[in-house]
Structure formats: structure tokens, C-alpha cells
Amino acid sequence: LQHLLTIEGLPRDVIIGILDAARPLTELAGQEEKKLATLRGKSVFNLFFENSTRTRTTFEIAAKRLSADVINLNINTSSTAKGETLLDTVDNLAAMQADMFVVRHATSGAPHLMARHLAATRQDHIHVVNAGDGRHAHPTQALLDMYTIRHFKREFHNLTVAIVGDILHSRVARSQIHALTTLGVPEIRAIAPKTLLPTGVEKMGVRVCHDMKEGLRGVDVVMMLRLQNERMSGALLPSAQEFFKSYGLTPDKLAQAKPDAIVMHPGPMNRGVEIDSAVADGRQSVILPQVTFGIAVRMAVMGMLAGN
């Protein structure tokens, strides 16, 4: 694999290969010497044109654990603010002998545009990792989510998984559905109001539910999503209270799921909007382990792109 741009179309054995490679890397955290030499001498550029806490930081930790030199471009103080185009920025960073770009962008397809440009300008020795583009894809989030499910549930073939909330604007949901389908999860439920579901979502192989209690009945995994207010205009935007009443995950709604169901959230969470604190901090929540697994999974992805 040259770039990681999307989960869609990624073969099952590649996904499983990444999950397998990540497993021993989770154990590095407990060791005195946490570093591997995989990316020694390589320069990884973090280009985050949209805000991030978890993804940017765990990519930085992951690259440093692989001994890369990590450069975090501060977009607000970069020449992007003076009108420099994305591709001019790419060419200039390539001229600084970049080996890998980790990119988050508000425009769907921006990482693909970068990858095509690198190929067209014979610079495709530089790898591109999509760290979230618009509403389109967030492949490493989906991979760390699959790692988390496998860690807690062992197998995929016997699971019922519910994805709940603002599916329409969620790059995370799209990538999760592709990953769960490829890994053979037999039942994926999309729980959301009609206004927050993409048209034709059923064609992705999911069962749509508008009633949350009904949708959660008997599920093994609950994957919550944030209301993406920044991608909505007035008419579409539900009030936080209305949304919480119907689609907020509370202990009584969660009681419909299996007693050993796990609760996931990619973050950032809006407590009291899509999730109650009693659930977010409760015994079934695996939200913080998801973040920790993100380091090993991102190490595995960068290692794989570098040919390891």
C-alpha cells in the first residue's frame, strides 16, 4: 500500500494485517524503551487544516515511537493563511524532503488530490495518510475502532453493531460501515433521525432504525457519534435537548443492549447531547481505551506504508 486514503475497497487481509501488526505495539507502552527504529531518518509532516486532539497527537506519538522526525505544521501561522494553495504547500514540504504527510482537511477528497499530485509530479515516494477529510473518510479512526472491537469481543462474525447519531455528516460512520462490512459483521444498524441519515444508506448494507431503544435491542457494540454542528446550517440543526431526548445514550436506553455490550465514541464527546456522563464514564465505556489503541494502530499503518 502506497497511501491510506480510505477504508472503502481495502481488502480484508490488509485490515486484519494492520490489526495483527498493532497488537504487539500496544505492549510497547509498558516497556522502558518504547521506541522502534522503523522510521529512523524519515520525516513525517502532520498537516491538520481542521482541529484535532486525538488524531494529531496520537499520530505524533506513533511517529516518534517509530523514531521518525515529526513536523507539526501550524496551519494558523503557516502561509496557508496568506493564500498559498494546498498543492503549493505540498510541493514546498516535499522540497524539504518529506517522507510522509498525515493530512486532515475540511474538503472531502483533499488527501486524494495530494496523492494524485505527488504521482503526477513524480514525488510518489512520499506517502499520504488521510487523518479525516470532510464528510468522506477517517480510515485510521475506523481501524482503531475495529481494533477495539476485536480486543473486547474477539470475533466479528457474530456481532450486532449499532452506529448512532449524526451519520449524515460523519466521515467516521462511513469508514466504520466499510470496515465492519469487510470484516464480516452480519448486522450493522444505523440509528438516527431521517434528517441525519445519508440518502441510500441502506445500500451500504445497514438496517436503519429511527427509534433508539428498538435499534439498541440486543446489540453487542454501540458506536456513538457527535452532532457535527460545524457541518450543518440552521434548519437542519436539532436542539441539543431535543436530540438528547431521542438519541442521547442514557443508562435506560443502553439497558436494551446486551449486558456486556461495549460503548464507543471517536471523540470529541458532547456530554448531554449525544451521550450521558453516566454512560461515558460507566463500566461499559471503552472510549479511553480506543484512544490508547489509536497509537499502536497508527504505528502499524505508518510501518506498513514504509514497507514493514
Q: CA nearest 104: which of 58, 68, 145?
A: 58
Q: Which stretch binds ligand CP (CB under 6 A): 17-25, 46-54, 94-102, 147-155?
A: 46-54
Print the binding letters for residues 141-160 with ligand CP: x by CB under 6 A, - otherwise.
Answer: x-------------------
Distance of CA 128 to the CA centre of its chain: 15
Residue 298 annotated in ligand binding = no
Based on CB atoms, which residue is closest to ligand CP, 59 or 156? 59
> Minimum CB separation from ligand CP for residue 131, in Å?
7
Q: Which of 13, 29, 53, 119 binds ligand CP (CB under 6 A)?
A: 53
Q: Which of 36, 52, 229, 250 binds ligand CP (CB under 6 A)?
A: 52
Indicate the residue whose CB is closest to ligand CP.
55
Print the binding letters for residues 103-142 with ligand CP: x by CB under 6 A, - otherwise.
Answer: -----------------------------x--------x-
82-83-84 Cα angle (round to 5)? 100
> Minimum CB separation from ligand CP for residue 141, in Å?
5
The reply on whether position 215 binds ligand CP by CB under 6 A is no
Q: Which stretch binds ligand CP (CB under 6 A): 63-71, 108-116, 174-182, 266-274?
A: 266-274
Residue 268 annotated in ligand binding = yes
Q: Which of 263, 267, 273, 298 binds ligand CP (CB under 6 A)?
A: 267
> Minimum CB separation from ligand CP for residue 148, in Å?
12
Residue 217 annotated in ligand binding = no
Neighbours of 125 (CB within 10 A): 10
> Minimum CB separation from ligand CP for residue 270, in Å?
12
> Minimum CB separation from ligand CP for residue 106, in Å?
12
Annotated binding-site ranges for carbamoyl phosphate: 54-55, 104, 138, 141, 267-268
Footprint of ligand CP (CB under 6 A)? 52-55, 132, 141, 266-268
Annotated binding-site ranges: 54-55, 82, 104, 138, 141, 171, 226, 267-268
